[in-house]
Structure 1
Amino acid sequence: MAVRVRQAGLMACAALMLVQCSGADDMPAPDAASRDMSPAAEELDALALESGALPDSAALDPAGRYGRRYEGGSDSLCLVPEEAARGRYRFGVESRIGADEYCRGAGRARLSAGKMLLRFEGAGRDCLIVARYEGDRVEMPGGLDLRCAALCSSRGSFAGVSFPRVDRSAEAARAMQDSRGRPLCR
């Protein structure tokens, strides 16, 4: 098994070197409409997944705690599986910047093709965010629907916020609290 993993890693490195040295300067730049990966890139990704160098985010259960603290604030996200629906989750999210600026909301989520669909309930019920799920992090897009502003203070925003995974435990996610001491995942 170790020999096969090493061979896959060597093949991935060789393929990457070929792509890098193949005269890419002569090739036209891809336009925004062509976002499909080249066969060489797809093969590299497949080899990296097979060797374990990249996690297979589609196979990882997203339930758990996500977040980080930094000098100016904190970002928290919890994902708890819904009991009745496989592949669906309840979530709570809060992003704080300083003492006065924040975004906060909760709702239902589901995973679809590497994307985390976050549909908010309550004050931001018209807000839907399609975040990127990478197995060990959830990343909000840089631009959000204006209806999501109802979830935030005057200068707060979820735009571009990244939530690294802290724990894979659904119990730990259920125990998370927001900055006011209330359960984050309801």
Structure 2
Amino acid sequence: MRHLAALVLLIGLAACGGGGGNVSEAKGGLTGLYEGGDGPRRNQLCLVDRGGTTRFGLIVWAGAGNNSCTGKGRATRDGERLRLAMQGDETCVIEARIEGDAVTLPAGLPEGCAYYCGPGVEVAANRFDRSGNSAEDAQRAVDLVGDPLCG
């Protein structure tokens, strides 16, 4: 009888343990919101794991103006390397570094990345620090008109 009670307790604990949490978070995944910059608006990078594929959205602002670099696509992590492949009309693959809770973009980017930027804005050499680690936090990243980047 005692073994049956212990088994019931273990099954109950296992059932409760899976509720509500993001699988990516449990494994120390990328899902979340990363922010940076010191202008009036924060630069934002959101990452969300959906069924084994990590999607991202990115916006970098130019000072007080409305010009920005913005794009979405697929992210792939390999150790400290984070590959951000933009989805759009021009080929842009950013080979960023991820260390702890910080993502740093390289100083030089492929030519096609300029397509995703307005006048006077550079996406290169920006740093984003994790400010939230859930899919809900990632939803706070929005584009120029207020639409979610990781929606």
- After TM superposition, the score normalised by the length of structure 2 is 0.75
Structure-2 residue corresponding to 1:155: 120
Higher relative contact order (CA 8 A, sep 6+): 2
Unaligned runs of 5+ in 2: 1-26
Task: Find the residue that maps to 1:165 and give its secondary structure.
Answer: strand
Q: What is the one-letter code of the residue matched to 2:36?
A: R
1:134 aligns with 2:99: yes
Distance 1:127 1:149 in 2: 8
Q: Report the alpha carbon displacement of residue 69 of structure 1 after superposing the two structures with TM.
A: 5.3
Task: Choose which of 62, 65, 84 in structure 1 pairs with 2:33.
Answer: 65
Q: What is the one-letter code of the residue matched to 1:120?
A: M
Structure-2 residue corresponding to 1:49: none
Task: Find the residue that maps to 1:61 and give its secondary structure.
Answer: coil
Distance 2:66 2:140 in 1: 24
Distance 1:129 1:69 in 2: 18
Task: Choose which of 84, 87, 94 in structure 2 pairs with 1:121.
Answer: 87
1:139, 1:163 within 8 Å by CA — same for their partners in 2?
yes
Q: Report the alpha carbon displacement of residue 171 of structure 1 after superposing the two structures with TM.
A: 2.1
* Per-residue deviation, residues 16-43 of structure 1 (Å, max 9, x unmatched): xxxxxxxxxxxxxxxxxxxxxxxxxxxx
Distance 2:66 2:120 in 1: 9
2:66, 2:144 within 8 Å by CA — same for their partners in 1?
no
Unaligned runs of 5+ in 1: 1-58
Distance 1:160 1:60 in 2: 25
1:60, 1:135 within 8 Å by CA — same for their partners in 2?
no
Please identify the structure whose Cα radius of gyration is greater. Answer: 1
Residue identity over aligned pairs, in percent, reads 34
Distance 1:70 1:179 in 2: 17
Q: What is the one-letter code of the residue matched to 1:183?
A: P
Distance 1:179 1:150 in 2: 16
Q: What is the one-letter code of the residue matched to 1:132?
A: R
Mapping 1:33-52, distance limit 5 Å: none
- After TM superposition, the score normalised by the length of structure 1 is 0.62
Distance 1:149 1:115 in 2: 21
Q: Report the alpha carbon displacement of residue 63 of structure 1 after superposing the two structures with TM.
A: 1.0
| Bigger fraction of residues in strand | 2
1:115, 1:130 within 8 Å by CA — same for their partners in 2?
yes
Distance 2:141 2:120 in 1: 25
1:181 aligns with 2:146: yes
